[in-house]
Amino acid sequence: MEVKVVQNILKVNEKLADENRKLFAAKDVFVIDVMASPGAGKTSTILATVDSLKDDVNIAVIEGDIASKVDAEKIQEHGVEAVQINTGGACHLDGNMIQNALQVLDLDAIDLLIVENVGNLVCPAEFDLGQSMKLVISSVPEGDDKPLKYPVIFTQADALILNKVDMLEATDFSETAFEEGVRRLNPRAPIFKISATKGDGVEAWTEWLRERVDAASK
Ligand code: MG
Ligand code: ZN
């Protein structure tokens, strides 16, 4: 009984996500679903990405949080449009929430839409939003065993960011163990090692991203 309810919810979501995907394709918008644990640095990675690309790429951000609008306000301070979604307790975004947020965004004026999902490495993996790619952020203080503990989301990632590499020396984090854990699940996705707040490695990530955004608008 419970399994059936969940299947129906996912089926409805799949339909809405497909509608989003068609709309994004028609409007040439490249969409990233950013997924990570709370505190991995989703918002600071988005800010670093915005600062690196905003002169050349029209960017908007959808911020998903259980409550508050602090993250959307931080993004707006960097000069790009940001819409806050409060899920009211739900621990993930879904296709319907994205459709609601799109009502206040002018997709004709956007090349890159960055969606910050709710901080959670479990169910955001289950809910398609209609995105062009999934970005998973892991951070050094969380430890190198995240791929082992949350295999589904690491399997789905189209790109990975290892954030807070400036803290490597202060921890027993093993880059080798992390990379091996990722590669067992996901042989292809590039892994970018960055410090979003200090700027290390950000350019390699944003150059890779920019190529994808450019390709989507052709
Ligand atoms: Mg955030
Ligand atoms: Zn959830």
Question: pLDDT over 90 for what percent of the chain?
Answer: 94
Write a three-state SS string for 169-218. Answer: HHCCCCHHHHHHHHHHHCCCCCEEECCCCCCCCHHHHHHHHHHHHHHHCC
Name the pTM for this structure. Answer: 0.96
pLDDT in tens, 154-170: 999 999 999 999 999 99
pLDDT of residue 72: 95
HEC letters along 32-46 = EEEEECCCCCHHHHH
CA dist 98 → 45, 86, 200, 207 (Å): 21, 11, 31, 26
**How many Å lie between the centroid of ligand 2 and the Cα of residue 146?**
18
State the DSSP code for 51: H
Q: Which CATH superfamily is domain 2-216 in?
A: P-loop containing nucleotide triphosphate hydrolases (3.40.50.300)
Distance from the CA of 124 to the center of ligand 2, in angstroms? 6
Query: What are the residues whose beta carbon lies below 5 Å from ligand 1 (ion)?
Result: 42-43, 71
What's the gap in Å between 44 CA and the centre of ligand 1? Answer: 8
Q: Which residues pair with 135 in a beta bridge?
A: 34, 159
